[in-house]
Amino acid sequence: CLKKEQLVLLLCATVKIFLCPLGFELQFRLGPSLQGRKVMVHTNYPLEGQPFQRHNFHVLEWNYPSGKDDDSDKFCSLNLKIAGSYQYYFGCGDTERSGGGYIVVDPVLCVGADNHVLPLDCITIQTYLSKCLGHLDDWPDRLRVAKESGYNMIHFTPLQTLGESRSCYSLADQLAVNPDFIPEGQSYSWVDVGALVEKLRKEWNMLCITDVVYNHTAANSVWIREHPECGYNLVNSPHLRPAWVLDRALWHLTTRVAEGRYKAKGLPADITNDSHLNAIRTVLRQDLFPEIKLWEFYQVKVESAVEQFRILLQNGSKPDHSKTGGKPGLKIVQDPQFHRYGNTVDMDSALETFVPHSSLPQHIEECCGWLRQKLSDLNKEQLHIIQQHQEQAANCIVGNVVYERLADHGPKLGPVNRKNPLVTRYFTFPYQDMTLEQELQLLDQPDKSCHFLAHNGWVMGDDPLRNFAEPGSNVYLRRELICWGDSVKLRYGNGPEDCPYLWAHMQKYTEITAKYFHGVRLDNCHSTPLHVAEAMLDAARAVRPNLYVIAELFTGSELIDNVFVNRLGISSLIREAMSAGDSHEEGRLVYRYGGEPVGAFVQPSLRPLMPSIAHAMFLDVTHDNECPIQLRSALDSLPSSAIVSMACCATGSTRGYDELVPHQISVVKEERFYPKWNPAAPATSASEVGFHTGIIAGKLALNKLHQELAAQGFIQVYVDQVDADIVAITRHCPSTHQSVVAVCRTAFKDPKTHQYDTNVPPMFIPGKIEEVILEARTVDRHAGTYKKDDGYINGMPEYTVEIKEHIPLQDSTVVKQAGVTSKGRSEFVQEITFQKLTPGSVIAFRVSLDPKAQKLVGVLRHYLSQFSPKYRRGSTADENPPEVLQKPLAQLMSKLTLADLNVLLFRCDSEEQEDGGGCYNIPGWETLKYAGLQGLMSVLADIRPNNDLGHPVCANLRQGDWLIDFVSNRLVNREGPLAQVGQWLGAMFNYMKHIPRYLIPCYFDAILVSTYTTALDAAYKLMSRYLSFEKVSSLFKTQRNVLSLCPVSSRTAPALSVTWRWRMFPIVSIQSQARRSSLPHFSSGIFRCWGRDTFIALRGLMLLTGRHTEARNIILAFAGTLRHGLIPNLLGEGRCARYNCRDALWWWLQCIQDYATHIPQGHEILNCLVTRMYPTDDCEPRKPGEVEQPLYDVIQEALQRHLEGISFRERNAGPKIDMNMRDEGFSVAAKVDPATGFISGGNRFNCGTWMDKMGESEKARNKGMPATPRDGAAVEIVGLSKSAVRWVVELHAKGLFPYDGTKIHRDGKEVFVSYSQWNQQLQQSFEAAFWVSGDPKDPNEKHPDLVHKKGIYKDSYGASSPWCDYQLRPNFTIAMVVAPELFTVERAWKALDVAEKKLLGPLGMKTLDPDDMVYCGVYDNALDNDNYNLAKGFNYHQGPEWLWPVGYFLRAKLYFAKKLGQETYGQTVNLVKNVLSRHYTHLERSPWRGLPELTNENGQYCKFSCETQAWSLATVLEVLYDL
């Protein structure tokens, strides 16, 4: 049983379409930007057992798989059991709606007595004009044509009573069955219609849908006369009054033209040429528009307004400033009833704008004159606007006349008369003829004008979301409506309360339809108000939950299409092959409207819900469009229909297409009946059709094929344009790897008048052709020519289909010969040459892989099924499995060490080169980031969801085995368990190499995904419970890249000494166990291992991850390198170590403390023997084991040397070890300040902390000058030293450290310094020295003039450049974490707040206050100019945002927030999660699957940064641990 499919939707605002199959689980998860925030998800998907109410939302409960509140893992879910459109929205904090969207759940359709499921892609539908079916008793005989032609769904145009026009879509009574269907003496109702529909479903396995028409009703509907408020009339829509006046004037113009009264002006009744069109324009401009004076409806009566204004001025009235805002500007108020000269002046605006100099009469009159002039100008502006509307109206009137009377493709109505007026009327006029003057008087009679109802229609290029009949639209005035003169546009308002009768009437109509039909087609959907369609479909789904909804949209925008699909829950959008201008475009539509590409990747069961295009119903032609035979040729009907049938979506046609009816069957004028079914019908019969009529036999075979392909999982599609007329379409089943290839030769042009090329190019079909499923040609059967029958809708008798089905290839008459070729071991190809692939022909092949490939792909799927049940179908057990495949991969992986797993998964190019290899380069693209699996998995993670088979990696895989062999051989060439994993991969690849190359990418991905996930599981079993827990719940669960930032070398380390279990091995293997500082720049050679970086990263990457042995070894190994009381900054493989940093020793001590406190019995490390390489400062390196001492003695020496004072010059000082440093910089000094206890040292020519950028530019003259010397007492070193001293005091008290202090020489005397006293001194000195209060009277502040940020902690104390002490940097947060006791809570919180506001970036922390004069946030190491502060990356630590400090900042926030109470702590936790979510996003998107060294300002990418750095991830993991 397959695991339930689970779709994941990241919360965001979107109008994309999210289609969800019924029965799936939909999970809502937080997108990165929402993590760390209080988010509530609301949905109107109904609770179990409750009805759907669109406006009833409820909150979804969060699920916590890990058992705790982890934003990266929690989700809320819906089990999708009910079809329809559902809305969700989410809110953050106090904002109720921060975003949201819709999900569309497809219905499940069932047919037959056994109610078996009809998948949407299996649908083959045929449209019928219901009025052409005759009496209901005759329907089965006429509908049987659909059944015998292989259709499984029928679409009926509306079955209701039609209006006077007899248009299928102009309904006079929405609730009554069309009386045309009822024989005389019978009494049929909807129950009888429903019984027929159910019979078709059960006995014929056919579903039935029908149209619902919400936008209009027939103009002669009785109920619209009784309820004129249901339409747009001149009472409820007075803005239409000017348009009505124009409409009536045009009607009277029609009568005068018909009577010949404009003949003298060049406008006869029979309009036939351009001069007549020009005469229309002249008459409109000179006679009609001046007569009706439409501009008066939009103008002000000037003198009346002026007089009103005069009276106000004389009375001393003042403007109401609350209305005008005190701003002048005259406002005109449009008369809501649209009377002539009904517009008024907003007198408050007039009084604000025109202010007399005094109350004297002459000044008042002067002011009135200003108003009079302004109103006259405004009236002229309105005149100009209306003249523009009139000009557009004239253009539209003439354009309409051209189409209706002159155009070849138009109806050619002939002379103007009352039946065929000059233009279609826009409004009903249910009264006797009268003069225009008399009609205009009706405007002010509401009982009459309420019956002047606006007709419906459509507006070319209009916004479909705008109602063109509402106020604000001038469509009726500008005559832009393409009008349906038989229908009245319905006015729903905003809800049922605006028009109760209409809403109730249409809801009843909807419920009747849903009760008796399986689905609906939304007629004129793009013009139906969305809220109306939503409400009606809700009512329909309440009656029939699995309602199938289709619509044809003409919005011209996929984005707007999505709005309709989302809000209405449209199951399928109607698409039409007739929209294609050539065969190439027709083939492109097949590819566009459904299916995956052939060779698509297998998607996981739990996967992101990807946006998609709406499900398509792809039709040969729709029933209301032109006939293809008129635009193409009769011979094209079969091949174009075959192209449509090969689409991986719902397909269909309209009745008449298969019978080759050579004209459009008009939905308005057609009154003939469809022929009935008779399998033996003669070719010349008009009243009956059979298998030999038109292309019916071919359509039957194509419909069966379409349904078979969808039912059997042929979900992959490939379209090949063979030549200008031939399209080959492949449908492929990804489980069985069977294919069906249909070759269709279209005939867009009539072969009788167009010469087609007789040379048909051969085709190369990969695989073995099992059979010819069908071959069919449209042929002339010499049965006479077409003659339109008076009683029946008959087709062309001269053509039929010559068809063969399920024949061997050798029996084909279309194929000339078929040769078999083999291109390599996996390319089994059959070459096909054609002899009778004439225009109008189709041939379809069933193709399998060659027998060997078929067997091997089955075996491959068998082995993959251990990882996913999706591979069980089509799998075959291996008769003689290789030995390496007889064991589960997990068993092989269980033998790997973390070092092995690092080789398997990671290793960048320079690391591989050390072993003589390198990362794989994709020709023409780029080199993979890692040689291990992660290098490919990062790329495939982007390729897989989008099925980007055109990606260079996929192309490389198809072209050859180079990459495949690289993956396995790289491991086979190693020893031990890794070689076995390589052999396993090699054995799997050997099977894969024998399948067709187009399948290689998907199976290569499947093998790699299986191997990768198994390796990750093995890795987590070797790590701590914390990491195992994080595997399923942390922010980094999908990347699982702890390995990539803390791998160990694959070199074998020497065995440990037998004399003491915890002895460390020699220096030669320190490099082996130490992790890389960063990739790709510091990953190999002498620059691989850095002391400071190692110990900043060690707690997060080794202690917390459970790699305790490696952590111990690294601590002890570096202990062995102690010299001058320091450990080396650059280890340099032990050959060129540099002891030039003041902080590494203290980071090392911090890690020993962390080890001792974090690991059970961790304090025992203090007794471990350390092999000293330099027992004295000046000695040569000693041999392993020559000098050994316990770790606690090494620690004591380090503390003693600092208390004594360290001062030396680096060995080999000069360009040999540092080509940029000045001579003074090679002098290293560090000591304890006796006055404060602070570790102080350095000078302005060197940089002994992590901010260690040395100037390199001679041009800028910064060479040899540190950008950030940080001499004096650096704040983080003070904090680290306080932590170390406090710890040894505690250890001594417990009897775990033998020393309570040390003897030193001071002022020529030997004195004893107690660690307890030192600890107290640091505690007492710290805040007095480092806190910047900003108070000029603060006695502790020595340089108040240098303070430019108050409420912070200094970055250093006692720097040679005092202003450097006061620079705001993130280093004090380190001291807060390691020695929080130094800080008072309130001050610490203030400083952290400043740091958050000023330093916190998207990913990292600014290394310098952006308000500082030398701040620059963009690091460019290649820049060499004369700018001292920038050249050669001098600003490395002067602004760019480094990632590792953000971990300490967040940890400090968490620590002190707890001290401030639960509310503050809760807010801080949210902040921390939100910050970490941005790291999660970066990890997801980075091909390195790591966190970078730094970014430029505001999180911008820096190309000079290491792409992934150990300490960046280490400190983030520490934050997660604290959480």
* pLDDT score for 1043: 35
pLDDT of residue 206: 98
How far is 1485 from 1487, CA to CA, in rounded Å?
A: 6
Tokens of 699: 């359509």
> Is the per-residue pLDDT at 403 higher than 50?
yes
Give the residue from 99, 20, 97 showing the smallest Cα distance to 609.
20
pLDDT in tens, 1041-1082: 333 333 223 222 222 222 222 322 222 233 334 444 555 544
pLDDT score for 1067: 26
Query: Rounded CA gap, 1320 and 1315, in Å?
Result: 9
Run of H or E including 989: helix 977-992
How long is the chain?
A: 1523
Please report the pLDDT score of residue 68 as a whole number: 79
Q: What is the pLDDT, as a whole number, of residue 36?
A: 80
Structure confidence at residue 92 (pLDDT): 86
User: Which residue shows structure tokens 């309602």?
Assistant: 547
Listed range (418-422, 1057-1061, 1227-1231, 1456-1460) with the worst mean pLDDT: 1057-1061
- In this prediction, residue 74 carries a pLDDT of 87
pLDDT value at residue 1028: 55
Whether the upstream peptide bond of residue 1080 has omega within 30° of 0, thus cis, is yes
Res 66: pLDDT: 78
Q: pLDDT tens digits, residue range 812-830?
A: 999 988 777 766 666 788 8
User: What would the pLDDT profile of 599-617 be if each residue is shown by its tens digit?
Assistant: 999 988 777 776 677 899 9
pLDDT of residue 5: 60
* Nearest alpha carbon to residue 1198 among 1294, 1140, 1127, 1138: 1127
Instruction: Quickly state the pLDDT bin for 19 (edges 50, 70, 90).
Output: low
pLDDT of residue 1060: 25
Q: CA gyration radius for the chain?
A: 42
Which of 526, 615, 951, 1163 is catalytic? The answer is 526
User: pLDDT at residue 1350 above 50?
Assistant: yes
Burial track 584-615 (b if 16+ CB lie within 10 A, e otherwise): eebbebbebbbbbbbbbbbebeeeebeeebbb
Can you tell me the distance from the alpha carbon of 139 to that of 194, in angstroms, rounded to the nearest whole number?
Answer: 13
pLDDT at 674 over 50: yes
Among 121, 620, 624, 636, the one annotated catalytic: 624
C-alpha pair distances (Å), 1439 with each of 216, 887, 1400, 1430: 66, 55, 11, 11
> pLDDT of 137-193, one tens digit each?
999 999 999 999 999 999 999 999 999 999 999 999 999 999 999 999 899 999 999
795 vs 27 pLDDT, higher one:
795
What was the pLDDT predicted at 1066? 25
Query: Which residue reads 């809220």 in tokens?
Result: 531
526 catalytic per annotation: yes
The rounded Cα 182 to chain-centroid distance in angstroms is 53
Mean pLDDT, to the nearest integer, of 1141-1165?
97
pLDDT in tens, 49-81: 899 999 999 999 999 987 877 787 889 999 999
Residue-wise pLDDT tens digits, 697-711: 999 999 999 999 999
The yes-or-no verdict on residue 918 having pLDDT over 70 is yes
Q: Does pTM surpass 0.75? A: yes
**1: exposed, middle or buried (Cβ count in 10 Å: 0-12, 13-18, 19+):** exposed
User: What does the pLDDT average to over 725-750?
Assistant: 95
pLDDT of 981 reads 97
- Locate 787 and state its tokens: 């003659």
Percent of the chain with pLDDT over 70: 94
Tell me the β-bridge partners of 1356: 1274
* pLDDT of 1455 strictly over 90: yes
Q: Could you read off the pLDDT of 471-507 as tens digits, one per residue?
A: 999 999 999 999 999 999 999 999 999 999 999 999 9
pLDDT exceeds cutoff 50 at 580: yes
- Lowest mean pLDDT, pick from 294-298, 459-463, 725-729, 1395-1399: 459-463
Q: What is the pLDDT of residues 996-1044, one digit of tens each?
A: 999 999 999 999 999 999 999 999 899 887 765 443 333 333 332 333 3
pLDDT at site 1041: 32
504 exposure class (CB count in 10 Å sphere: 0-12, 13-18, 19+): exposed
How far is Cα 1075 from Cα 1068, in angstroms, rounded to an integer? 15
The residue annotated as part of the active site, out of 73, 173, 523, 1271, is 523
Question: Are residues 982 and 932 in contact, defined by beta-carbon separation less than 8 angstroms?
Answer: no
Backbone angles phi, psi at 1316, to 5 degrees: -65, -40
Quick check: 1457 pLDDT over 80?
yes
